[in-house]
């Protein structure tokens, strides 16, 4: 809220403001951890190798899963608990938090997505209070996670 409160009505966010929105981004990361938009992707083994005692032959198709990595208690203790503080300080070790993939094929739109998410969060908090119309709405995966009923909300504009 520090950034939201520092802006005059109608004043736009600057790039510097975006860099300071650490807490908002930690919240967004925790959402991306529990409901990664892309569940994972395929790779092809370019060599024979052994992983966790399994022998993987060259040419096999492999699936890396963001979802199972993000819910692995060795990576994230109490994995089902929503806790944005996990991303404070250095945050998770490399390749434990992979909503945008990792390595040479990491999502090239990652920074643009971060910008869009933070600008959206800023504007919705700044302009509205809201009330969810479906209390315990489930998330369905088809193939991307989405609220089962489309997340209907009532928006209440703040008074100017
Ligand atoms: C929250 C938003 C987004 C998420 C969670 C996301 C996630 C991902 C993931 C997991 C991959 C696969 C990485 C891999 O195979 O290792 C990917 C690839 C890709 N993403 Fe995104 N993405 C997002 C937004 C965007 C945006 C905004 C753009 C473009 C403006 C974009 C463009 C791409 C492209 C072109 C690839 C293919 C890269 C390659 O194969 O080399 N993404 N994304």
Series of mean pLDDT values for 10-residue runs along the chain (160 residues)? 76 90 97 94 96 96 95 97 96 96 94 97 93 93 92 90
Which ligand 1 atom is at minimum distance from the Cα of 37?
A: 5
Residue 143 lies in a domain: no
Number of domains in the chain: 1
Q: In b/e form, how buried is each residue of 77-107, taking b as 16+ CB within 10 angstroms?
A: eebeeebbebbeeeebeeebbbbbbbeeeee
Residue 156 lies in a domain: no
User: Could you tell me which residues come within 8 angstroms of residue 79 by beta carbon, excluding any fewer than 6 positions away?
Assistant: 70, 71, 72, 73
Whether ipTM exceeds 0.90 = yes
Residue 157 lies in a domain: no
Q: What spacing in Å lies between the alpha carbon of 107 and ligand 1's midpoint? A: 4
Give the pLDDT confidence score for residue 11 in this predicted structure: 82
Q: Who lines ligand 1 at CB under 6 A?
A: 37-38, 41, 99-101, 105-109, 112-113
Whole-model pTM: value is 0.92
Domain of residue 34, residue span: 2-128
């Amino acid at each position: 809220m520090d950034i939201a409160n520092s802006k005059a009505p109608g004043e736009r966010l600057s790039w510097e403001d975006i860099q300071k929105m650490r807490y908002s981004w930690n919240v967004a990361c925790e959402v991306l951890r529990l409901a990664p938009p892309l569940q994972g992707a395929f790779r092809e083994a370019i060599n024979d190798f052994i992983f966790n005692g399994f022998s993987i032959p060259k040419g096999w198709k492999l699936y890396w899963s963001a979802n199972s990595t993000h819910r692995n208690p060795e990576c994230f203790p109490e994995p089902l608990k929503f806790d944005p503080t996990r991303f404070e300080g250095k945050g998770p070790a490399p390749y434990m938090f992979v909503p945008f993939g990792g390595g040479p094929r990491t999502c090239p739109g990652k920074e643009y997505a971060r910008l869009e998410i933070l600008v959206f969060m800023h504007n919705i908090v700044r302009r509205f209070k809201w009330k969810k119309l479906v209390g315990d709405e489930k998330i369905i995966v088809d193939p991307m996670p989405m609220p089962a009923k489309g997340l209907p909300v009532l928006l209440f504009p703040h008074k100017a």
